Structure 1
Amino acid sequence: MRRRALLGAALLAGCARSPEPRLFTLAPRPGEARAGGPATIELRRPGLAGYLDRPEIVRAAGPYQVGLAGAERWAEPFGDMLGRVLAENLSQRLPGSTVFTEAGGLSADADGVVELDVQRFDADAAGLVALLAQVAVRRSGSRRAAPRARSLRITVPAAAGDTPAMVAAMSTALGQLADAVAEMLRGV
């Protein structure tokens, strides 16, 4: 009985010393405001590579390896955060448009639709953030018309090797993605 009590106390002491998680969020980045986008734009929930769909921050750990950043986590589900920040970036870049996310509380008929599939979004050991995504934009209701689609590869060096610098570089990469998507939307 005494052994169990000691074991229980040791387990509780170990739990008490575990570090509190550090929570991070992507942030919108300013870009050039442009006219000519659709009046309303629906941003569909981004598709994510499975390794990104987790609360922990993911880093490339070497050839064919990824690692988790310990107690450093995203403050919200990664796909929701990515969509929210991209929508805010697009709203700033297309001031004549109203941008809403499929995952949000609004449901409205949109004039334009953005679909995004993120295949990679992480930093390597040297701190270079890589974003690899496929984007398609189209006028709503025109499923038969071919969407405008592109594959995008964006790289941004982090200012330092720590997680805040990596998240800042990821935010910059997402801003650059918004620049490309805004330009695509101007043509639909």
Structure 2
Amino acid sequence: MNRLAILILCTFTALFAGCASTQPSKFYTLSPSAMPAGAASANLSISVGPVSIPASVDRPQILVRTGPNQVSLAEYDRWAAPLKSDIARVIADNLASMLGTPQVSVFPQSSAAEATYRAGIDVLRFESELGKGATLDVLWTVSSRTKGPSRSGRTTMTEPVQGDGYAELVAAHSRALGRLSGEIAATIREFEAQKP
């Protein structure tokens, strides 16, 4: 009888010790690039989206590449918001700063339908390698609400990670999105310069 009681006590002790050692989750968010504001353009409005991302990264956990054909889910390192929403928010913030306009919305907000330009974003690759780099491969289209110009482009880059942690990896993705935003902003500036 004593052996059974000791076995039960040991089992419960091991279970409680396992539960107590669970590490807390850490949450990360992409951030806009710190760029100087462009010349103010009060009548310029932009809608960002829709944004599509690969199904493999459309999850709360950060997906990390660990080999040529292998990835790993970081169970305790997670996105604070859905990734495609965070990407749209950051690009919108970057464009507002780069183009000097507060009128930048994220599709499908009601103000998006009346925007002068729409920037559609199709993320083909959003890859993360701890201590190495953040890879972004995006097809984007900038179109005018009127029957004006439309231009598509493809931006592919790997931004080096400046450290070994997840915070540094997310910062590298933020820098990559800043460079992508710069290409979109340059296209919108070209369209504006061509107006009569």
Say yes or no: TM over 0.5. Answer: yes
For residues 149 and 108 of structure 1, the distance between their equivalents in structure 2, rounded to whole angstroms, comes to: 20
Identify the structure with the greater helix proportion.
2
Q: Evaluate the alpha carbon distance shift between residue 104 and residue 136 of structure 1 in structure 2; reply closer, same or farther with a 3 A threshold.
A: same
Shift of 1:13: 5.3
Q: Percent of aligned pairs with the same residue?
A: 29
Radius of gyration: which is bigger? 2
TM-score (norm 2): 0.82
Structure showing greater relative contact order (alpha-carbon pairs closer than 8 Å, 6 or more residues apart): 1
Give the Cα–Cα distance (whole angstroms) in 2 for the partners of residues 79 and 99 of structure 1: 17
Pick the aligned partner of 1:24 from 17, 28, 46. 28
State the SS of the aligned residue for 1:120: strand
CA contact (8 A) 1:122 1:130 kept: yes
Q: 2:179 aligns with which of 166, 173, 176?
A: 176
Paired residues in the alignment total 185
For the pair 1:98 / 2:103, whether they are aligned, the reply is yes
Query: Structure 2 stretches of 5 or more lacking a match?
Result: 192-196
Match of residue 94, structure 2, among 89, 93, 113: 89
2:164 to 132, 157, 161: 161
The partner residue of 2:78 within 73, 78, 86 is 73
The question of whether the paired residues in 1 share the 8 Å contact of 2:46 and 2:112 is answered with no
The root-mean-square deviation of aligned C-alpha atoms, in Å, is 2.7
Question: TM-score normalized by structure 1?
Answer: 0.85
Measure the CA separation in 2 of the matches of 1:4 and 1:151: 62
Task: Report if aligned partners of 2:52, 2:121 keep a CA contact under 8 Å in 1.
Answer: yes
Specify the alignment match of 1:51 in structure 2.
56
